[in-house]
């Protein structure tokens, strides 16, 4: 796929994946599924980090970096990055972890997560941010799997963050839901998703913990962008 085609699709020209077939799949869909990345011992280690350090919360769905506890945030990030980052060295093209955390659905509460995009973490006219999402239990459409609006990373090219108006807010969630693709996964599988892709997750009957790690290219880090004019696709 040449650079001109990539620009026409609203994507950066920098390749995120080392393997060209994974890159093509990522450009087309906005996500790639890599099976069997973590084994039982690593899954157990991540579950232990969550169980030992996580403060109690009342929300049905929560992401642990929302909790204002620097010690816990640091412990979560360190363990998740330690286990996931080496697995990605042969898959991604020189990416570095920015934030590791857990996304949790608690049993017996309203634990749905509505349609959203991940926040912008780099200059997306030149680079793309990617999140790794790894469930610690098997997930399906009715048990907390992610549901993806395939190709939406090429449509919604806005800047995203706290208190920033989003194109998605002006659309009907009910209309979009009919186009979603559920992604069933086994515990330890890894989903790599573009930060711009629209996604959500339905209710889970049991506690569902997923490890997440947000990543950006080394040369797309904020300190590397200092002094460079920062452009964003609108």
- Could you write out the DSSP letters of every residue in 150-197? TTGGGT------TT---GGGGS-HHHHHTT-EE--B-TT-EEEEETT-
Average pLDDT score over residue span 14-37: 96
pLDDT tens digit sequence for 120-153? 777 777 789 999 999 999 999 989 999 999 998 9
Can you point out the beta strands (E) in 17-171?
31-34, 61-63, 95-105, 113-116, 130-135, 146-148
Residue 225, pLDDT score = 43
Task: Say whether pLDDT at 42 is over 60.
Answer: yes
Q: The pTM is what?
A: 0.84
- pLDDT at position 9 is 46
Tokens of 64: 């642990």
Instruction: Identify the band that residue 183 occupies on the pLDDT scale cut at 50, 70 and 90.
Output: very high
Element (H, E) at 120: none
Counting residues of the chain whose pLDDT is more than 70, the rounded percentage is 80
Q: Which residue has the higher pLDDT, 5 or 82?
A: 82
Residue 68, pLDDT > 90, answer: no
Task: Express as a percent the part of the chain with pLDDT over 90.
Answer: 54
Q: What is the mean pLDDT of the chain?
A: 83
Q: What is the pLDDT of residues 45-59, one digit of tens each?
A: 999 988 887 667 778
* 55 vs 3, residue with greater confidence: 55
Tokens, residue 30: 């906005």
């Amino acid at each position: 796929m040449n650079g001109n085609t990539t620009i026409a699709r609203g994507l950066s020209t920098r390749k995120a994946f080392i393997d060209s077939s994974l890159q093509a799949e990522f450009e087309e869909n906005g996500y790639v599924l890599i099976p069997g990345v973590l084994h039982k011992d690593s899954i157990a280690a991540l579950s232990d980090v969550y169980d030992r350090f996580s403060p109690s919360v009342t929300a049905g769905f929560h992401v642990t970096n929302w909790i204002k506890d620097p010690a816990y945030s640091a412990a979560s990030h360190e363990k998740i990055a330690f286990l996931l980052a080496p697995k990605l060295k042969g898959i991604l093209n020189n990416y570095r972890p920015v934030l590791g955390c857990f996304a949790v659905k608690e049993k017996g509460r309203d634990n749905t997560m509505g349609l959203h995009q991940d926040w912008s973490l780099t200059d997306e006219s030149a680079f793309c941010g990617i999140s790794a999402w790894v469930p610690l239990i098997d997930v399906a459409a009715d048990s907390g799997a992610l549901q993806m609006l395939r190709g939406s990373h090429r449509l919604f090219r806005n800047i995203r963050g706290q208190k920033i108006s989003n194109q998605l807010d002006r659309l009907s969630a009910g209309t979009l839901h009919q186009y979603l693709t559920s992604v069933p996964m086994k515990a330890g599988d890894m989903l790599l998703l573009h930060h711009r892709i629209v996604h959500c997750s339905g209710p889970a009957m049991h506690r569902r913990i997923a490890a997440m790690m947000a990543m950006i290219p080394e040369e797309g880090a904020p300190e590397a962008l200092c002094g460079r004019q920062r452009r964003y696709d609108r």
